[in-house]
Amino acid sequence: MGCQKCSSENQSAFSGEIGIHFPGIEGLQKPLVFVYSEVSVCLDCGYADFNVPESELKVLATGVPVDGAVVLIAGDEIP
């Protein structure tokens, strides 16, 4: 499948760790959602895409942590 942005076939897959923040200052009080997914990157224009697992998607939809999702909650210490 070609790149969604430039239609190039010059793409490669990488392992990725992505932290997704809710927008704005109020987003600081919501969980930081971590996604560990394969990332497809267009090596011509830089466009990248990935899938968000179901449990992390529920957190993004509601702003509330759910069982099984990988999140960091405001005030948690990072080891």
Domain ranges in the chain are 11-72
What is residue 74's predicted lDDT score, i.e. its pLDDT?
Answer: 73
- Interval 41-68 mean pLDDT: 96
Alpha-helix residue ranges (DSSP H) falling in 8-75: 54-62
Total-model pTM: 0.82
- Determine the 3-state secondary structure of 67 from DSSP: coil
Residues 22-46: tens digit of each pLDDT: 999 998 889 999 999 999 999 999 9
Is 80 exceeded by the pLDDT of residue 78? no
Q: Which two tokens stand for residue 17?
A: 């760790």
C-alpha 1: how far from chain center = 21
Average pLDDT value for residue range 56-64:
96
